[in-house]
Amino acid sequence: MPHTRKEAKARERGGWSSVTEGRYLYCILDGAETRNLGKVGIQGGEVRVLPYESVGAVISPVPFSEIESNLGNILVHQKVVDLARGIGTALPVRFGIIFKTEEGVKKMLSKSYESYRTKLHKLKDRDEFGVKVILNDSGLKRIRESVAAHSEEVVATRKKLPKSGRGTSYLLRLKMEEAIKNQLYKKIEDLSQQIYTRLGAPADERTVLKSDHEQIILNAAYLINRREVERFQKEVEAVRKDFGGEGLIVHTSGPWAPYSFC
């Protein structure tokens, strides 16, 4: 509850009370025009652009406490970033950045101004696209069988088994299994790298992201100039055609704000 009439009125106007609230940062925008984007921020806060030189910080008021990292708040954060991207080039920031005052936001803009200008120039007319390549069970089995049948090391070890005693045979089987596993991983890594490189041809930049599942053999982000999107999508389709028979499933997402390249 507001403790004063002044604070209550400030909340009614969109929450711009410097006494009780912080400033939540969504992104840095190319352009210093003061704008009001409406009460579309986290917890219904009024979003506006705070200008500095030739850039602006897209902010809204929030109670000065930790913002819960739930799906609703994350989606609001993303929605505001997308709204800003409809105005001009935007440099998104990660979820949960809060400043005590507007003065703190301005100091941040001043300190990092040249860096922001450079990054905004790099991101102009560009979007992020995500790619996940999944190796299904049948594809994994096929690669394993191929390694077991054609690896010189595995074949040579297997030939020794009939002439070996029980103890030696056990050790040889362990050695063979280890060789299969190592070469299986190498084959998968080679496939991943091949696809990563091919899809990178139309991209300005690319980066590998952490995978959240062992069947995802590639989780990558690509920074694509909007003039190159069609070329990128055609390359994705070509990869699907070339590798689909090997048990690889290619998922794409985007266009997104370029979080991975900030």
Tell me the HSE value of 262 on the side-chain side, using a 13 A CA sphere: 18
Three-state SS for 108-150 is HHHHCHHHHHHHHHHHCCEEEEEEEEEECHHHHHHHHHHHHHH
Query: Between helices 152-160 and 166-200, what is the axis angle to 10°?
Result: 170
Euclidean distance between CA atoms 210 and 49, whole angstroms:
33
Tell me the HSE value of 152 on the side-chain side, using a 13 A CA sphere: 0
The string of pLDDT tens digits covering residues 154-207 is 667 666 666 666 667 667 677 777 777 888 888 899 999 999 999 999 999 999
The string of pLDDT tens digits covering residues 228-247 is 999 999 999 999 999 988 88
Range of lowest pLDDT (49-53, 79-83, 154-158) = 154-158
Total Cβ atoms within 10 A of residue 207: 15
In this prediction, residue 3 has a pLDDT band, given cuts at 50, 70 and 90, of very low
The answer to whether 27 touches 93, Cβ cutoff 8 Å, is yes
The answer to whether 247 touches 136, Cβ cutoff 8 Å, is yes
Above 50 in pLDDT, residue 99? Answer: yes
Above 90 in pLDDT, residue 214? Answer: no
